[in-house]
Amino acid sequence: MRTARFCKLSAAQLRYAATASPIVEELKTKLIKKNEVDMKKINDLKKRFDHESLGEATVGAAYGGMRGITGLVYEPSLLDAQEGIRFRGLSIPECQEKLPKAAGGGTEPLPEAMLWLLLTGSVPTAEQAKALNAELHRRADKSAIATAQKAIAALPENAHPMTSFSTGVLALQTHSKFAAAYAAGKANKKNYWEYALEDSLDLIARSPHVAAMIYNRIKTGKVDTAAASNSELDWAANFANMLGFDSKEFWDCMRLYLTIHVDHEGGNVSAHTTTLVASALSDPYLAFSAGLNGLAGPLHGLANQEVLAYLFSMRDLCKADGISFSDETALTTALTKYTWDLLKSGRVVPGYGHAVLRKTDPRYTCQRDFCLRHFPDDNLFKLVNTIYKIMPGILTEHGKTKNPYPNVDAHSGVLLQHYGLTEQSYYTVLFGVSRQIGVLSGVVWDRLQGRPLERPKSITTEALADRFLSKHI
Ligand code: CMX
């Protein structure tokens, strides 16, 4: 028995079954039932098609970031290059239509309903979404959150919010039921998934509190939430409220934001990192913190922060050159010139391009639709719209990117700026708060279906040269 002090947890933390609520039991029953059906398919696929090829692993792919190699099974979502993301088979417009909304006039889907969908594969009823939200409130353990609060306060004040968030998640890890059960010899292949689910629900319950403290630190220097948690509110509204925003329209905006950023299949950096780390049986906290560190890169989630810097630089250049936003022709000419200057300097246009998508990201489109419904005359929105009209042409002429269309990050900042959440360095934290819902659902399913340690084979240039070049001398 491993008895190191660091992995000793209270009896309550180990007794996950005893603390489970009816809604978690219902969730587990649904997962078990779905898995029975899915495992039959998996066993059949493995038995009959184990050696079928999913495509070639070429030299080009090995040097090209493994683009085009299908080498992972990831259950919560699937990305189509033309159509965009589907969450358990549902497109974004279908999720907007089918997922339960907040009582009292909410028009956007609830992220907790999306969590239910990604975990169980089926759309929850309004009652199930409500009960799941109540469960998340119940799990927002104050002492665990205080651990993260202390860790964040110990960081230098200029720590990037993503550094703080990743650190906060690591501090929450000291409450991991998975790690404690494993250390106590109680976890085994059959129940790993239950501990993974327990940790995932705890993390999704607690991390918004931690994220809100990070925001308040930027604003006031104080590591605390701007407002107390309110158990009457849904997950997104409560988060927005803890950030210090009480506008009902903004709460709806956050419901949309936190629903559409949840997942983008398994190969992107944050999802792949999370599931890769979890495949070593690192608990969901360790795995998600690693995923966040990947999300913090400018080619991935940090692009939403970079987009604002780009938009503001465009706005400033227009101002300096006396270009009016109402003169569409002059604005288009000026933006085209500034963008070419940027590209010629060897930089990328943030918010455009994608490793898989080859059309406008539907996550971009639904944010655009939200702006059109709520604030069509916003100046920043107008700027983004004009850029949308010219950028595919510019990037096509530039001739490098395989996808000249906008991705999710090209639009999210406009929404946040409009409602007064103007601290751009915080934007990727919002992405992370949402992303945990998808990637942790993936971790739960990986453990439920017994997926093994990930360990693809790598190769050196010397070995490749021996294999291919030597034949052609
Ligand atoms: N601006 C300028 N050049 C771009 C570009 C853009 N927006 N997107 C791609 N390119 C360039 C690449 O840098 C690459 O150049 P080199 O051949 O000189 O290396 C070339 O076009 C080919 O790239 P690609 O195959 O089309 O795209 P990748 O799969 O390599 O990269 C991505 C995808 C997203 C990293 C890239 O499009 C990019 O850097 N975009 C800007 C950053 C961004 O918006 N990231 C957010 C993505 C969504 C998310 O994860 O949140």
Res 473 pLDDT > 70: no
Residues serving a catalytic function are: 300, 354, 409
Measured from the CB, is residue 409 less than 6 Å from ligand 1?
Answer: yes
Indicate whether 39 pLDDT > 60: yes
Coil vs helix vs strand at 158: coil
Residue with tokens 């996550």: 363
pLDDT tens, position by position, 307-318:
999 999 999 999
Instruction: List, for residues 435-445, the tens digit of each pLDDT value.
Output: 999 999 999 99
Query: How far is 156 from 212, CA to CA, in rounded Å?
Result: 17
pLDDT digits (tens, 9 = 90+) for 126-176: 999 999 999 999 999 999 999 999 999 999 999 999 999 999 999 999 999
Q: Using a 6 Å cutoff on CB, does residue 100 contact ligand 1?
A: no
Which pLDDT belongs to residue 3? 41
Summarised one tens digit per residue, pLDDT across range 56-102 is 999 999 999 999 999 999 999 999 999 999 999 999 999 999 999 99
The answer to which of 73-82, 321-330, 340-349 has the lowest mean pLDDT is 321-330
Q: What is the pLDDT of residue 10?
A: 55
Predicted pLDDT of residue 19: 60
Point out the ligand 1 atom lying closest to the alpha carbon of residue 403: 26
Closest CA to 63 of 459, 472, 473: 459
CA of 206 to the centre of ligand 1 (A): 34
Q: Provide the 8-state DSSP code for 186.
A: -
Residue 365 predicted with pLDDT over 60: yes
Domains and CATH numbers, the chain: 134-297+425-449 (1.10.580.10), 301-419 (1.10.230.10)
> Could you tell me the sign of the dihedral formed by the alpha carbons of 392, 394, 400, 406, in that order?
negative
Tell me if 150 sits within 8 A of 171, measured CB to CB: yes
297 C-beta closer than 6 A to ligand 1:
no
CA of 403 to the centre of ligand 1 (A): 8
Does the global pTM surpass 0.85? yes
Model pLDDT, residue 326? 85
Q: What is the pLDDT of residue 472?
A: 66
Residue of minimum CA distance from atom 49 in ligand 1: 300
Over range 394-409, report the average pLDDT.
98
